[in-house]
Amino acid sequence: MAAATLARCNERLSSMAAACILALFALAFLLASARRLWRSGTVRDPATRTWLLIALIFTAVAAWLQWHTS
């Protein structure tokens, strides 16, 4: 019984770490999109939209991991 509990706790910690890492990546991509937006001056720039899309994807996955593994 203790081994099963330990395994579940270990699994939760690894999924929480993954959620935190993905959230940090999302923040990095959001900052990259802000930097690109500042340089180009418009959201219509394909690179800016790509950085924003990647940030959105990483945010969604991190949020999903956060709420569905708790």
- Using one digit for the tens of pLDDT, what is the confidence trace for 7-59? 555 566 666 788 888 999 999 999 999 999 999 988 889 999 999 999 999 99
Sign of the alpha-carbon dihedral angle for 53, 58, 64, 67: negative
**28 vs 65, higher pLDDT:** 28
What's residue 35's pLDDT?
A: 94
pTM here is 0.75
CA atoms in the 13 A half-sphere facing the CB of 8: 6
